[in-house]
Amino acid sequence: MSGTAGGTAPVMGHLQTGYAQQALQRAKTLAQRAQYLRGVIQTEAIQLLLAEGATQREVARELGISKSKVNRAAKATVAYAINPDTDTELDDLMVRTAWGSEDEARAVHETVVKHATLAAAEDRAS
């Protein structure tokens, strides 16, 4: 057996423990951000399909989600949408992966913003 005289494994030094704790905390933070981004991407996908003229029922069926979730996403503000010009490296990676490219992500964002702007103008006019 290797280790200490009593046959037990040596305790990790403070330095390794600190690195391990930091790594786990960073991983937890990244996982939380990824979960948030999943919701943002889902909201953008819903808003994109609605902007293209799909009904909420069609969107729910197409994406395999509830109509109430589609309804909530339809009412979400544009501020909730990802802005590929300003977000973090993780955001960029998730967005590029989800939409296929940075250009596609930007096009989706612009479509969602344009649709929300037009909808807001129509609401003010009525």
pLDDT in tens, 87-113: 577 777 877 788 888 888 888 888 888
| CA-CA-CA-CA torsion sign (72, 52, 82, 126) | negative
- The domains of the chain are located at 43-125
Distances (CA, A) of 97 to 28, 46, 79, 104, 113: 20, 17, 21, 10, 21
Note the pLDDT of residue 84. Answer: 57
Q: How many CB atoms lie within 10 A of CB 50?
A: 19
Q: What is residue 79's DSSP assignment?
A: G
- For the cut 90, the answer to whether the pLDDT of residue 9 exceeds it is no
Residue 86 pLDDT class (50, 70, 90 cuts)? low
Which range scores top for mean pLDDT: 3-7, 22-26, 119-123? 22-26
Distances (CA, A) of 123 to 38, 81, 90, 117, 118: 29, 20, 35, 10, 9
Residue 83 pLDDT class (50, 70, 90 cuts)? low
Q: Is 22 left (phi over 0), alpha (psi -120 to 50) or beta?
A: alpha
For residues 75 and 105, give the distance between their C-alpha atoms in angstroms, rounded to a whole number.
Answer: 20
Which range scores top for mean pLDDT: 32-41, 57-66, 86-95? 57-66
For residues 11 and 33, give the distance between their C-alpha atoms in angstroms, rounded to a whole number.
Answer: 33
Percent of residues, the chain, with pLDDT higher than 70: 79
Note the pLDDT of residue 1. Answer: 44
